[in-house]
Copies of this chain bind each other. A is one copy, B any other.
């Protein structure tokens, strides 16, 4: 890459961000009805553009096959009428979610007569950097727009034609609704420098949300000068206490691992209290469910199918039907293991002893802590938030499933009648 290309790429991102900011100032003032109507308009245009979108997608699939893209990647990339209808329906779902903008978070009348309120406003310009799934283009754009933000989208090169066709429909719908198209823009170049330019665009882009595999998130977190909302790993633990109900423990543990082993909320390590009487039964149920098990010495004594775990296993997100099992001597040992190895995403306890569940919920320092429930519930939809832009494990701004509210900030409004400070 020459210096010239890099320069012009970052100029291009800067210009996009300035256009986005200008459009955003206008959209920030729209009421919910106007934004929802626009989203429904976009859904209609999307349905009417099905042919164009699917033929663009066919191009991407063809070059993906030529380029030797793996079958799983091709499946993520593929659109059909059913998936397109899913995307359009998701737009309508976002349309009907409550709009967080304008909400008065707190109010206070001061003794000197000043009326203080904290009012929710959009963050501003959000950058989304994502990989192969073209539906992210529409989902992310819709969530940003509904919360009054501008979005700058950088999709994967393997989905370039699909993304352009989807964005064409999105833009047409916006235009029909009388809303500036610049509120949602797709980075036009596939130049890798564009990602770097977005990550460096401090003051121009207010927040970056990476959506994709670990190497993408790692790069974004390492190089970004702009705040990032993300999670790198979901090394989720479930601790089964001596007081756990055995039936609950089996059902919850098998679900937490095996329902969909590849999602970030899937359990990766099971901690079993050494005083739990039904430990062998629990391991048998997991092995019978088809899960590959590795464990420490005490765990291996419980079932012959448990292989020996190595040190890395306790820090590994398998994203597969594989689980590490450690036997721990009670709650404090479990809390210690979790403090050392958890990625701060979701950790759960199974216990009937309320002292144990309450201590776990208060002492485990993760974005989501659960008692007697499957860690697979770690999801914006399951939390009643509607669609989510992602799950965050950082400590500032928003944590856990991030939905519309996480795409807002606030300002202080002060209404006076001529007060001066003495």
Contact = CB atoms under 8 A, between A and B. Distances in A.
Interface stretch (A70-78, A128-136, A413-421): A413-421
A347 to B, nearest CB: 10
Contacts of A411: 365-369, 399-400
B114 A373 contact: yes
Task: Give this chain's copy count.
Answer: 2
A29 interface: yes
A160 interface: no
A58 B121 CA distance: 49
Interface size class of A (residues with CB under 8 A): 35 or more
A415 B374 contact: no
Contacts of A85: none
Nearest to A379: B421
A255 interface: yes
B124 A357 contact: no
B384 A409 contact: no
A376 interface: yes
Interface string A368-393: 11111110110000111000000000
Nearest to A413: B361
A223 to B, nearest CB: 10
Given A207-B396, A396-B123, A259 B372 contact: no
Contact of A410 (B114, B123, B399, B413): B399
A29 to B, nearest CB: 7
A232 to B, nearest CB: 10
Contacts of A114: 373, 377, 382
A270 interface: no
B369 A413 contact: yes
Interface of A: 25, 28-29, 108, 110, 114, 116, 121, 123-124, 206-207, 227, 245, 247-248, 251-252, 255-256, 259, 339, 357, 361-363, 365-374, 376-377, 382-384, 395-397, 399-401, 409-421
10 contacts: A25-B339, A114-B382, A248-B418, A367-B411, A369-B412, A371-B413, A372-B415, A373-B414, A373-B415, A374-B419
